[in-house]
Structure 1
Amino acid sequence: MKSKKLFRIIAACILLAVMILLMFTRLYHRGTSVKRPKNAYKRHIEQFKSSVDMDKDGIDDQSDILNSALYYIQTKPKYESRYYIGGTPNDGYGVCTDVVAAALFGAGYDLQKLVSEDINEHPQNYDIQSPDKNIDYRRVRNLQVYFKNNTKSLTTDLSEIEEWQGGDIVIFKKHIGIVSDRRDKNGVPYIIHHGSKYQRAYEQKYLKSKSDEIVGHYRWELESKN
């Protein structure tokens, strides 16, 4: 009798723990915040402005890229990697590369087309057996090649805080995001990104904790190829 009672107690505890875990997981996922963090850095750093306004909307490219990234995350995309005919997610889901594609599209640039053209013109730069326009521009490794060869490459040293500007693009070993115009108390900017189903916010302190994984820092200046 005692063993049966003990078994029931243990089973009830396990069931309760599972229910609590499921509730916590759902709340954690629902808690992904679009609220912008405060700028905690006291010293003023002049925000870089591009000399180009591709879409002729009166807003320079650098600002347009930043604003478009912020606009995209306001849609609260859910994280999941899916394949789409046409390439662009249209069902509320997305991954890290979609933040960058949306940011550039809002400034007047079609990243899908640009990457596809670059793969066709310079296949030796990409380790791709069968190019697929629907997915190639949504892979971090391909974007690293594209940005390195077609845009302005900048420092990856976080101590050079003035060189990190809102609207820049930062690439990690397996991730990508847009640099925010808001900074922590040390002047290191936040990152606008989408990397997990359980991400607490779309704009986060991320650079310092992942500094050893940074592989590239770029600015969208196509006229400055290197």
Structure 2
Amino acid sequence: MNRKRKSILLAMAAISAAAIIALLYHFNYLPHPRYSGQAFGIDTYVSTVDMDVDGIDDQSDILLSAREYVSQRPRYKSVYYGSGYPDDQYGVCTDVVAFGALGAGYDLMELVNEDIVSHPDIYDIEIIDKNIDFRRVGNLNIYFNRNSLSLTTDINQIGQWQGGDIVVFSDHIGIVSDNRNRRGIPFVIHHAHPMQLFYEEDILESHDDIIGHYRLS
């Protein structure tokens, strides 16, 4: 192999490797650098409410509880549970929010069901089932829109996004992280698909379908 051809092959290999790394980075198969809100002059929001009276404010409690849930590395699978909450190693995106809220004293299975029973016309549900209704993105979006503080969906207003907030997409949901990317846009704690390596990812900029951003207290 002559020197020129070898140089071309090496250059092609380098370009291919760079492209693969870029794709892996884009799809969060490689970890992204993390920054705190303080790096952007953003003060951490602290809720004045402690629903479960555990000495941790609700905003922090939701964040910590969501992070604790995903630390168990649940496997992605949609399963119906007679107990409502998953009781095995499986879960979906709504379970991150449900367990995050539950850890702070908010039982979404009961709360969403009460709201649905009181306002069935708003939810447009044919058959009410408290064991599954709180695990549907659409129902959670309606519930949070009615029962929590609605905030901006503009991710560039970085000061308005805080760890422990809830972000809703057209068919997905997650808990906003207190970690941010180099532009100050927060990561999201979520569970999207079976091939997911990291449960806390830099995904907001790759979405153009954010339909809700909420804060419980």
Q: Is the 8 A contact 1:100 1:177 kept in 2?
A: yes
Shift of 1:127: 1.4
Alignment of structure 1 residues 144-183 onto 2, 5 Å: 144-183=141-180
Alignment of structure 1 residues 110-125 onto 2, 5 Å: 110-125=107-122
Which residue of the partner structure matches residue 73 of structure 1?
70
* Cα distance between partner residues in 1 of 2:36 and 2:46: 22
Shift of 1:44: 3.1
TM-score, normalised relative to structure 1: 0.80
* Cα distance between partner residues in 2 of 1:67 and 1:45: 19
2:40 aligns to what SS in structure 1?
A: coil
* Cα distance between partner residues in 2 of 1:46 and 1:56: 24
Q: Is the 8 A contact 2:32 2:181 kept in 1?
A: no
Q: Is the 8 A contact 2:36 2:178 kept in 1?
A: no
- After superposition, what is the alpha-carbon deviation per residue over 1:33-55, rounded to whole angstroms, capped at 9, x for unaligned? 9x996327732311100000011
Matched, 1:194 2:191: yes
Alignment of structure 1 residues 86-97 onto 2, 5 Å: 86-97=83-94
| Structure 1: runs of 5+ lacking an equivalent | 1-31, 222-226
1:208 to 205, 209, 214: 205
Q: Is the 8 A contact 2:172 2:192 kept in 1?
A: yes
Shift of 1:139: 0.3
TM-score, normalised relative to structure 2: 0.83
Q: Which amino acid aligns with 2:211?
A: V
Q: Rg larger in 1 or in 2?
A: 1
Root mean square deviation, CA, Å: 1.8
Matched, 1:218 2:214: yes
* Cα distance between partner residues in 1 of 2:36 and 2:57: 25
Which residue of the partner structure matches residue 52 of structure 1?
49
* Cα distance between partner residues in 1 of 2:206 and 2:128: 34
